[in-house]
Amino acid sequence: MSAQWFVVLSAFIFSIGAAGVLTRRSPLVILLCLELMLNAGNLALISFSRMLGNSDGQLFALMVMVVAACEVVIGLGIIVGMFRRRLPIDVDEMSELRG
Amino acid sequence: MKTTDFGWLVLAFPLVGMAISALGWRALPGRLPGWIGSAAILGSFVASLGMLQSLSNEPEESKQLVGTAFTYIDTAGFAADLSILVDPLSVVMCLVVSGVSFLIHLYSVAYMTSDEGFARFFAYLNFFVFSMLLLVLAANFVLLIVGWAFVGAASYLLISFWYRRATATSAGIKAFVINVIGDVGLVIGAFLLFDATGSLDYFGVFEAAPEVFGRNDPQLVAACLMILVGAFAKSAQLPLHTWLPDAMEGPTPVSALIHAATMVTAGVYLIARCFPLFELAPAAADVSAIIGTATLIFAASIAMAATDLKRVIAYSTMSQIGYMILGVSVAAYGAGLFHLVTHAFFKALLFMGAGSVIGAMSGIQSLDRMGGFRKAMPFTFVTFTAGALALAAFPLTSGFFSKDEILAYAFNRGGFYVVLALVGYVAALMTAFYTFRLVFRVFFGPPVPEARELERGHMTHGAHANPATGEEEDTGVGFPGAEHHIAEREWAMKAAMGPLAVLALIAGVLGIPGLTDTLEHFLEPTFESSRFHEEVPSEGAEYAGLAAGGAFALIGIAAAYYFILRDPTLRLKTRERFAGLHRVLINKWYVDEAYDLAIVRPAAAAGRFGRTVVESTFVQGVLVGGTVGIVRAGTALARSMQNGELRAYAALLLVGLACLVLYFLIVAT
């Protein structure tokens, strides 16, 4: 099986994630979609790594996982905070930070 | 000790005195700053005497000594040392400056006692003396310009000494502005000389000048005229004279020191010092002689009508400096400096006497309010009259010998100089008249209430007010002090005026033609290279001139007696008869008004135009406003993108990413 299919799958997952980020309004779902996009990136990295017979891509994938874990910790923390303060769970309503 | 070491000592004393009074004034009680300042100047005078002694021991051929402290500037093609020149000319100047300054310091200790700014006054005064000595001792144009600018600054500080008086501060500004015009002239003149000779040392310039310049070379004439601008601004000659009468706003000792005895004669010193240049450029020397003559008669005419005691003396100063300028411009260097010396004595004395009278009048300076002080102030009367006799060139007084020697030299040059000398004689008649007009109006006639009070042993205390405008004042710092002081009650003032009165009467022995000529012989090493060194008037001519001058003086004094004492109504009748002329003289020939019309108002109009049109419309509106508009429009665009919509940001990001991917795809294929 050539690496091409893995990359196509990766692009497909990335697009699903991006569409989710753009269309959904719940911050929790947006966070999930972001994870999808990150993992699509990981998949692409690993498939290229395998294609080239070089382990650098795998190392990068590990690093991306670390970053994703950190991001989830902070993102979920913010979302839990929003629930506790009974703020609207809708990113369109939260547009106070503007110029 | 070398001769030049004395010169450095002369400079060091007043500098130290200034530092002590200026920095330690809180710790110095009462009159102590005054005594310290006076002691410093006395030290300077003693050092000058040492310099004189040491110089007269030098061999005949090396009477011009240069002492260098260190190299001041040394760059490509230009070098100037911090060096002083000790020669007969600078020694004479140092002796006069430090000697007269010492007496005036002594006088000021008493005169300024009750002023709140006592220590500040002495710090300024010492600074002035230091600057003046630096000016006369400098051995190159660089140091000369430093001293030249310093005396201008000191003069400004002292004219504006009573800084809460609006008239005093504006007089100070006027003096400073006109002096700066002179400074600029001097700097340009020095530059023109440096451009041609490649040197700024006096001797370097003087030696190179005959080789690079022909007679009346345009560049040399221009340089000399620029130097004359400096000299005329400092010495209050036409047309840069308007600051001197206004400078009388300063305390009277300042008028005596700076605006009579020392600073205003700096121009005379400068022309004498640069005599090799002026002899190479006779055109410039002629300009100088003509302006000196014009000034001497112009100022004398105003002095005949002015009614402010100090301003009359100020105009007579202008007039006497005109004589000196005439003298040094017709190559009568010894005579010009002789008059400088005697003038320093009698004019300082006259100002001191005027200060004493003004004290007795509790600040009033108008002659119309004065009269009959002879009995009330015998000491002031006697000394003032001694000074007046010398100023009027009464036979055998000091002014008699010095003034007539200048005119005799001018006669001896022939040509149009004869006309200048004749004008000088006419002005001498006027001088005698206005001088004794002062004496008769202040000391003779019926005593005014102030004089009567003083005869009973009590000094009047008038309201504290500005004598020029009548504005009320308090006696705090920045205004004159509460008490007035007169010579009759202060030994220090007497101690200052007494020696000057004696000198005013007998200093003529320094230059009796054919008999003593002490000063001229002493100055010979400086001036012996002059082309006109041998062209001296014969003794017969000099004595004829003396006789004529004496006769003019007596006629002038007699006329003053006739007009003012014998028949006071005659004075008023004459005034009515020549009402037009009188109005012109009272208004000082409308020179101030002409300047106002020609310079001040156009400058003010240009300033207003700049403020309203250029600044507020063009700069504020177009330049500043335009820039602000552009920045504001740009930021409005950037702000509108920051709308707070998270999904809009994400969309933008993705669109950007998509664009990048597309670009790389296109590039790759």
On the question of pLDDT at B527 being above 90, the answer is no
CB–CB of B353/B309 below 8 Å? Answer: no
Tell me, yes or no, if A22 comes closer than 8 A to chain B by beta carbon. Answer: yes
Q: What is the pLDDT of residue B606?
A: 92
Considering only CB atoms, A21 lies closest to which of B640, B643, B650, namely: B650
More confident residue, B428 or B479: B428
pLDDT in tens, B567-616: 777 777 777 788 777 787 777 778 888 888 888 888 999 999 988 888 88
pLDDT in tens, A19-41: 999 998 888 999 999 999 999 99
Q: What is the pLDDT of residue B78?
A: 77
How close, in Å, is residue A50 to chain B by CA atoms? Answer: 23
Domain residues for B537? 142-586
pLDDT in tens, B136-166: 998 888 889 999 999 999 999 999 888 888 8
Q: Which residues of A touch B638 (CB under 8 A)?
A: 99
How close, in Å, is residue B643 to chain A by CA atoms? Answer: 5
Tell me, yes or no, if B640 comes closer than 8 A to chain A by beta carbon. Answer: yes
Around B559, how many Cα atoms within 13 Å sit in the side-chain half-sphere?
Answer: 17
Is there a domain that residue B550 lies in? yes
Q: What is the largest CA-CA distance in chain A?
A: 51
User: Helices B333-360 and B398-412 sit at what angle, rounded to 10 degrees?
Assistant: 140
Is there a domain that residue B604 lies in? yes
- Same domain? For B175 and B281 the reply is yes
Res. B482 pLDDT band, cuts 50 70 90: confident
- Same domain? For B523 and B630 the reply is no
Measured distance CA(B286)–CA(B329) in Å, rounded:
7
Q: What is the pLDDT of residue B472?
A: 76
Q: What is the pLDDT of residue A14?
A: 93
Is there a domain that residue B131 lies in? no
- Same domain? For B464 and B612 the reply is no
Total structural domains in chain B? 2
Which of B635, B654, B655, B661 to mutate to probe the A interface, most A CBs <10 Å? Answer: B654
And the tokens for B565?
Answer: 């004492």
Q: Does A95 contact B647 at a Cβ distance shorter than 8 Å?
A: no
- Which value does ipTM take for this structure? 0.85
pLDDT in tens, B256-303: 888 877 888 888 999 988 888 888 888 888 888 899 899 988 888 888
Q: What percentage of chain A reaches a pLDDT higher than 90? A: 59
Is there a domain that residue B66 lies in? no
Is there a domain that residue B440 lies in? yes
Q: What is the pLDDT of residue B664?
A: 95
- Same domain? For B171 and B261 the reply is yes
Is there a domain that residue B575 lies in? yes
SS3 B76: coil
On the question of pLDDT at B25 being above 70, the answer is yes
Q: What is the pLDDT of residue A63?
A: 94
Of the three residues B586, B601, B621, the one that is the final residue of a domain is B586
Q: What percentage of chain B reaches a pLDDT higher than 70? A: 100
Q: Does B642 contact A91 at a Cβ distance shorter than 8 Å?
A: no
In the block, which residue shows the tokens 């006369």? B136
On the question of pLDDT at B539 being above 90, the answer is no
- Same domain? For B654 and B530 the reply is no
Of the three residues B527, B559, B586, the one that is the final residue of a domain is B586
On the question of pLDDT at B306 being above 80, the answer is yes
Is there a domain that residue B631 lies in? yes
Cα distance from N-terminal residue to C-terminal residue, chain A: 51
- Same domain? For B616 and B504 the reply is no
Residue B14, preceding peptide bond in cis (omega within 30° of 0): no
Tell me, yes or no, if B665 comes closer than 8 A to chain A by beta carbon. Answer: no
Q: Among the listed ranges B310-319, B489-498, B506-515, which one has the minimum average pLDDT value?
A: B506-515
B454-457 own/partner pairs: CB under 8 Å, 24+ apart: B454/B360, B454/B373, B454/B376, B454/B377, B454/B486, B455/B375, B455/B376
The CATH topology of domain A8-84 is Helix Hairpins (1.10.287)
Tell me, yes or no, if B651 comes closer than 8 A to chain A by beta carbon. Answer: yes
Q: What is the pLDDT of residue A42?
A: 94
- Same domain? For B579 and B633 the reply is no
- Same domain? For B575 and B613 the reply is no
Q: Does B643 contact A95 at a Cβ distance shorter than 8 Å?
A: yes
- Same domain? For B326 and B400 the reply is yes
On the question of pLDDT at B466 being above 80, the answer is no
On the question of pLDDT at B335 being above 90, the answer is no
Q: Which residues of B touch A25 (CB under 8 A)?
A: 647
pLDDT in tens, B362-399: 878 888 888 888 888 888 889 989 999 888 888 888 88
Q: Using CA of residue B294, residue B296, residue B301, residue B303, what is the dihedral sign?
A: positive
Q: What is the pLDDT of residue A62?
A: 94
pLDDT in tens, B171-183: 899 899 999 999 9
Considering only CB atoms, B651 lies closest to which of A22, A30, A97, namely: A22
Of the three residues B586, B602, B633, the one that is the final residue of a domain is B586
- Same domain? For B183 and B294 the reply is yes
On the question of pLDDT at A99 being above 70, the answer is no
